Chains A and B, each alone.
Chain A
Amino acid sequence: MQEVIQQLVNGISLGSIYGLIALGYTMVYGIIRLINFAHGDIYMIGAFVGYFAIRNFNLSFLPALLVAMAVCAALGTAIERLAYRPLRNSTRIAALITAIGVSFLIQNAALLAWTPDPRSYPDVFPLRTYEIGGVFVDNRQITILSVAVALMVVLHYIVNFTQIGRAMRAVAIDADTARLMGIDVDRVISFTFALGSALAAAAGVLVGIYYNRIEPTMGAMPGLKAFVAAVLGGIGVIPGAMLGGLVMGVAEVAVVALTASTWKDAVAFAILIVILLVKPAGLLGRQVREKV
């Protein structure tokens, strides 16, 4: 029983990271119906920005987190502006191919700039482990969970209780009508990319601290898994992304505990294929019929 709870704690830590990344996917998909393949690489950039901020500029954890989020927000909007906006009216496949291209560009540029070797993350706070009824929880897991929850509360507030949030929801429902109502759709889309990228950057810094290891290719797999999490929760549904992330995290940890760790990458895609076949709208999504 203790073992189960222990794995649950580990799974929730991992899952909240997936959830943070998945939020970016789900918001962008909700608004412009594009799988932003580069999102996983923005998460990687976030981890590296945090790394340099801590190591080279001696920032402590929170300022480094904020710097990484700000840099990635700028990067995300720049990508949208340069690569995706010109394709707004072309086919979705063209936009998807561009997104794959951007992802490859960032990843390979990072490989060139920072070498493929993994780096160990600087110690921002010493590891402290607490035992609660036989279950071990360390301060890094607590940090991850509290930062994730805090960011989600902020996001919830922005989306539901601010003017720009209302504009985001309007554009997600119907961009053309939103434009007729005087909403600057381009600005809303830029803002969405900034928000999503900032969350991915936060996830990157948290992963660096949790696993103590970053490398330029680290974005590919978590990026795909976070996308699966977004689909699992119902793409376009913000609480769904978080739920999907948690389910993914727990499932992955469970598979690693039960079988060999080499199978863990297959879990995500098995979940994806099953959910697409059984309930394509996702756990919290509503089935929407495509109009002819």
Chain B
Amino acid sequence: MRKESILPLSGFSLRQKLTWLAAVLMGLMLVAVNVGVYRGTVDFYFTGVLVVAWINVILAVSLNLINGFTGQFSLGHAGFMAVGAYVSALLTIHLNWPFPVVLLLGALVAALLGFFIGLPTLRLRGDYLAIATLGFGEIVRVVLLNLDITGGPRGLGGIFPKTTFFSAEVLAALTIIVIGNIIRSSHGRAFIAVREDEIAAEAMGIDTTRYKVLAFAIGAAFAGLAGGLFAHHQMFIDPRSFTFQRSIEILVMVVLGGLGSITGSVIAAFVLTILPEALRGMAEYRMIVYALLLIGLMLVRPQGLLGTKELRDMLGIDRVRWLKAEQPAAGALKSHGGDGR
């Protein structure tokens, strides 16, 4: 009879213990950064980079809901971001409404557009959908170029800088929590069922079109939110900020982190925002590196870095002695580990 240890991580593999160590270190780093920004010891430039990182987290996690969890291939995320950015910026400039209201309306308009675009196009499959969403993104860009109210190719300037590190952080956290909860709800299981096998899902009574449109609209809403934050961070937006290239950058984050892993998207968004800043001198190679990353990942590790694993799976949260509500039977532990897929 083995003696039961009272240590929280007893029985964990070395790999899991290292993951814990890494997670704790990252948590401490996050706390340190927050304290630093609060006390003003983090310099202005790096704070700006961190804001962009949080915005990218929102974009990547929301695109992951569409591409990763629901298995629909959207290439138009920059279009929704643009809609949110322009709507919120115009409301700020012309009406000077409060920042949260403006962000919410930007997200709402993006969601509505996502709904109306999704309704017809989501009947298409895979690569056709990719092209249709790409086309949508381009149409948004062309419309923005041609309207008077958006300033056309000159763009919109003089947007008040209302996005702070903390508002970006809180909204990114909110995005992670909301989308994470959706994934674990019965709606989320329906999304995943659509991804795994549309026909089987339909046979099980899932209204596949409804769930695809739902995922699309939710993803669009968060992209619109990110767009609003982006506009009030940059203080200037023009149609060139929302090209196909931007959609690809978000896609790279999702694919690198793992299609179907929120943790992966968050980590990839941070790495791919901060790394290029650190490697400024190699700026012209950035898109080449992105391209090689996409090809290399698909050839070597198509599931991305984390596959569909989340932090809680990797840490084995449910097995930590101190957090456990009751002692599960010995056999019950084995069935965990995967996440039921």
Nearest-CB residue, chain A, relative to B137:
A269
Instruction: Report Cα–Cα, A96/B135, bound state, in Å.
Output: 16
Among the stretches B25-33, B271-279, B293-301, B321-329, the one at the interface with A is B293-301
Distance (whole angstroms) from the CB of A258 to the closest CB of chain B: 14
Q: Are B299 and A269 in contact (CB under 8 A)?
A: no
B126 and A92 contacting across the interface, CB-CB below 8 Å: yes
| B: number of interface residues (CB 8 Å) | 40
Which of B39-47, B48-56, B140-148 contacts its partner? B140-148
- Is the beta-carbon distance between A96 and B291 smaller than 8 angstroms? no
- Asked, given contacts A112-B288, A263-B146, A276-B124, whether A270 binds B302 with beta carbons under 8 Å apart, the answer is no
Query: Closest CB-CB distance, B115 to chain A, in whole Å?
Result: 15
Q: Is A90 an interface residue (CB 8 A)?
A: yes
Task: Select which of A97, A105, A272 is within 8 A of B132 by beta carbon.
Answer: A272
User: Contacts of B16 on A, CB cut-off 8 Å?
Assistant: none
Asked if B242 lies at the interface with its beta carbon under 8 angstroms from chain A, I say no
In the complex, A59 has a CB within 8 A of chain B? no
Inter-chain contact B291/A102, CB cutoff 8 Å: yes
Whether the pair B138, A108 counts as a contact (CB closer than 8 A) is no
Chain A residue contacts of B146, Cβ below 8 A: 260, 262-263
Contacts A35-B127, A262-B146, A276-B128 given; does A104 touch B287 at CB 8 Å: yes
CA of A100 to CA of B131, assembled, Å: 12
**Contact flags B227-252 to A (C-beta < 8 A → 1, else 0):** 00000000000000000100010010
A111 and B284 alpha carbons, distance in the complex (Å): 9
Given contacts A83-B299, A93-B73, contact A276 B130 (CB under 8 A): no
Docked pose: A273 CA to B123 CA in angstroms:
12
Interface residues of B: mostly helix, strand, loop or mixed? helix
Cα A205 to Cα B150 with chains together (Å):
37
Instruction: For the complex formed, measure the closest distance between the CB of A87 and the CB atoms of chain B, giving whole angstroms.
Output: 6
Q: In the bound complex, how far is the Cα of B90 from the Cα of A241, in angstroms?
A: 42
Instruction: Say whether, besides A35-B127, A100-B248, A269 and B291 are in contact (CB < 8 Å).
Output: no
| A94 touching B298 in the complex, CB below 8 Å, given contacts A268-B135, A270-B139 | yes
- B138 lies within 8 A of A109 (CB): no
Counting chain B CB atoms within 10 Å of each CB, the highest count among A83, A96, A260, A290 belongs to A96
Contact B287 A91 (CB under 8 A): no
List residues 179-200 of chain B with CB under 8 A from any CB of chain A.
199
A42 within 8 A of B: no
Q: Which residues of chain A come closer than 8 Å to B125, judged between CB atoms?
A: 290
Residue of A nearest to B244 (CB): A220
Report A269 CB to chain B, min CB distance, Å: 3
Task: Using known A-B contacts A262-B142, A265-B142, A269-B136, determine if residue A102 contacts B302 with beta carbons closer than 8 Å.
Answer: no
A266 close to B131 (CB less than 8 A): no
**B128 contacts which of A98, A109, A111, A280 (Cβ < 8 Å)?**
A280
- Interface membership of A132, Cβ < 8 A: no
A290 to B123, CA, bound (A): 13
Beyond A108-B291, A112-B288, A220-B244, whether A273 also contacts B298 by CB under 8 A is no
Q: Is the CB of B294 within 8 A of A101?
A: yes
Q: Top 6 A-B pairs ranked by shortest CB distance?
A: A269-B135, A101-B294, A105-B291, A104-B291, A101-B295, A266-B142
> Beyond the given A90-B298, A224-B131, could you list 4 further A-B residue pairs with CB under 8 A, ordered by the A residue number?
A101-B292, A224-B135, A270-B139, A280-B128
Interface residues of A (CB under 8 A from B): 33-35, 83, 86-87, 90-98, 100-105, 107-109, 111-112, 220, 224, 227-228, 231, 260, 262-263, 265-266, 268-270, 272-273, 276-277, 280, 290, 292
